[in-house]
Amino acid sequence: MKNKDVILFFACGESYVPFLGVALQSVTSHTSPDRNYIVRCLYTNNISEEAKNRLIGAYSKGNMSVEFVDVSGAIKNCEGKLHTRDYYTKSTYYRLFIPELYPEIDKALYLDSDIVLLDDVAKLYDEDLGDNFVGAIPDESVQIIDEFKLYTENRIGVESCRQYFNAGVLLLNCKKLREIGFESKFLSLINEVTFNVAQDQDYLNAICKGNVSFLHPGWNKMPIDGVKVDEKDIKLIHYNLSFKPWLADGIKYEEYFWKYSDQSEFSSEIRERKAKTGGEVKKIADGQTENLIAVCKTQGEDRAENERINKIVKSIMDRSPERLGILKKISEYERNGWFDKDVENDPEGRMIMPGEVDYTRKKISSKIMTKYAYFIARKYLNGIIKSGDIVVKKINGLENFANLKSGAIITCNHFSAMDSFAMQILYDKSGHKKRKMYKVIKEGNYTSFPGFYGLLMRNCYTLPLSSNLVTMKEFISAVNSILSKGNFVLIYPEQAMWWNYRKPRPLKKTAFKIASENNVPVLPVFITMQDGAKIGADGFPTQEFTINVGKPIYRKEGLSDSKNAVEMMEENFSVWKNFYEEEYNLPLEYNIAE
């Protein structure tokens, strides 16, 4: 069943407003009375209110509506990485964010602004994509220039240049793109690979190859002698590259452009603009195309770099959509400053009741289960060390832990289930075999975590928090006892775990108040990481850890426990911040929205 609504996207800046007007004029000339045409124009701060209102006033009528959508927020975190060249602008990338900008939309059609329609665009919108990511048409210009063929097949990795599509006419399977984590895959890829020939089009082809519905070439006919299409079968003309009627005379199919231009209210300014260029802009554009051909030849012949890029693309495409969704959520939470909110859905827990937990392991049954769990955990840890699933490259400041004479609160940044194993390795190296390290965990992790990890959560010297006040009194009493006997308590003061997040996050003061009340130091530990050579089951590189141990932080005499907690917390964060900036050689900055 056809959707009555035809959802159509463009992207535009101020200089292209007249040509978008021509495109919209051609759309209105071929609409069906039984369909609704919903047009959304993506922009940032590069278009005036006057220009927007002019287009809305001219084309938002009848069964067609036009609105402008500011995508500044969507591209904020990656704007500096959106590579452009020559006459292209960053607006060419906006189409990549459509599926996530509109989570309620299952399908959308994107068109460049340098097009005219010769038929009802609803017919293109109605094409069935099945499970393919996009519907598109092979790029004609690539098929007639050998250097382009070389580039697309070797660097982009398409099987044939005939399977490299032009992204100026793009039917998006938004539902499927969200399922595969398309936006996150693109953001991962742009961090690791720079495609500087066709920019966003190259990224699209690299990610979507093998998952494209190739549509009739009449829906993206370029004004060149490439793919032969009977003129009566041409549905859409795309005046791409320098083949633009407003730049020079003699452009193939120029009569269609001028037909719709003259019907639009932009006719006079478009003709004035052409008269002023005198063909000079066309000459510049032609020169840029020649330079581009030379770049394609050089990059297409670089076998080693092309192999490296294709491996990266494959690795990113193999990455778990669920994990990519977590990374996207982390980015959203950082922008909003929600540093203590969970990004992963832990099992729903129940309330731990008084007397339920043997916090100090006094019972024989608790001792037996702890011994068994430690045996299993040790065997597992040895296995993942051997397999390379956990790699501790270096421990800095081990002496700060080894020289502790009393019990202590140990703090650590929380970024993975693996960080607890890294802390176990640190504890083993410290030489404190007669003094135990307990770990504070969440209530739900104790009551509801399944399987192997559940066994560890309940038995490996864990101290579960509780939503029951009486149970929490038992927790506090146990912690005080543990510390008084010279043992250690590991607390993650960031409160929530953010997977592979490298920055230190703001801390909660509870851990430091406990330290002050028990007159024990805080040992600040900050783990830094780098991508390892091994790719994990989730498609991401395993992380290699450097464990950085700071000097113990002691309470100050004469201050209340509350004030000491604040000062110790601030000093702990300062230590973490220094480790972060020194190890990564980066200033600590958060991408918080203004």
Return the closest-CA partner of residue 535 out of 303, 304, 323, 302. 323
Residue 1 is predicted with a pLDDT of 41
Return the closest-CA partner of residue 334 out of 219, 459, 222, 499. 499
SS (H, E, C) 393-434: EEEECHHHHHCCCCCEEEEECCCCCHHHHHHHHHHHHHCCCC
- Alpha carbons 465 and 349: distance in angstroms, whole number: 11
For 348-584, CATH gives 3.40.1130.10
Residue 590 in 3-state DSSP? Answer: coil
Domain covering 5-324, topology: Spore Coat Polysaccharide Biosynthesis Protein SpsA; Chain A (3.90.550)
Please provide residue 244's backbone torsions phi and psi, each rounded to the nearest 5 degrees. -125, 125
Region label for 101, one of left (φ > 0), alpha (ψ between -120 and 50) or beta (otherwise): alpha
Give me the DSSP letters along 58-88. HH-BTTEEEEEEE-HHHHTTTGGG----TT-
Structure tokens at 328: 């996207």
Any idea where the domains of the chain sit in the sequence?
Answer: 5-324, 348-584
Please provide residue 149's backbone torsions phi and psi, each rounded to the nearest 5 degrees. -55, -50
Instruction: Please measure the distance between the N-terminal and C-terminal CA atoms of the chain and give it in whole angstroms.
Output: 44
Name beta bridge partners: 138.
165
Evaluate whether 169 touches 212 at the Cβ level (below 8 Å): no
- Alpha carbons 90 and 43: distance in angstroms, whole number: 10
Is the pLDDT assigned to residue 3 strictly greater than 80? no
Is the pLDDT assigned to residue 22 strictly greater than 70? yes
Residue 193 is predicted with a pLDDT of 87
Residue 473 is predicted with a pLDDT of 96
Band of residue 87 on the pLDDT scale cut at 50, 70, 90: very low
Average pLDDT over residues 176-201: 87
Rounded (10°) CA dihedral 167, 18, 14, 238? 10
Evaluate whether 151 touches 48 at the Cβ level (below 8 Å): no
Is the pLDDT assigned to residue 179 strictly greater than 70? yes
pLDDT (tens digit per residue) in 40-57:
999 887 788 999 999 999
Residue 412 is predicted with a pLDDT of 98
pLDDT (tens digit per residue) in 338-372:
999 999 877 778 899 999 999 999 999 999 999 99
Q: Highest-confidence range of 124-133, 182-191, 236-245, by mean pLDDT?
A: 124-133
Average pLDDT over residues 129-144: 92
How do 36-43 and 236-238 pair as beta strands? unpaired
SS (H, E, C) 519-567: CCCEEEEEEEEEEEEEECCCCCEEEEEEEEECCCECCCCCCCHHHHHHH
Return the closest-CA partner of residue 236 out of 166, 302, 154, 188. 166
pLDDT (tens digit per residue) in 258-269:
999 999 989 999
Structure tokens at 3: 């959707």
Structure tokens at 556: 């100050």
Percent of the chain whose pLDDT exceeds 70:
94
Is the pLDDT assigned to residue 214 strictly greater than 50? yes
Residue 536 is predicted with a pLDDT of 85
Residue 137 in 3-state DSSP? Answer: strand
Return the closest-CA partner of residue 99 out of 36, 175, 42. 175
- Alpha carbons 358 and 356: distance in angstroms, whole number: 7
Give me the DSSP letters along 170-211. EEE-HHHHHHTTHHHHHHHHHHH----SSTHHHHHHHHHTT-
Residue 466 in 3-state DSSP? Answer: coil
CA-CA-CA-CA torsion sign (295, 296, 298, 303)? positive
Residue given tokens 């690791």 in the structure block: 192
Residue 255 is predicted with a pLDDT of 96
Residue 451 is predicted with a pLDDT of 85
Q: Which amino acid type is present at position 503?
A: K
Percent of the chain whose pLDDT exceeds 90:
64
Residue 86 is predicted with a pLDDT of 41
Return the closest-CA partner of residue 346 out of 464, 478, 425. 464
Mean confidence (pLDDT) of the chain: 90
pLDDT (tens digit per residue) in 395-443:
999 999 999 999 999 999 999 989 999 999 999 999 998 999 999 999 9
pLDDT (tens digit per residue) in 276-296:
776 665 666 666 677 888 888
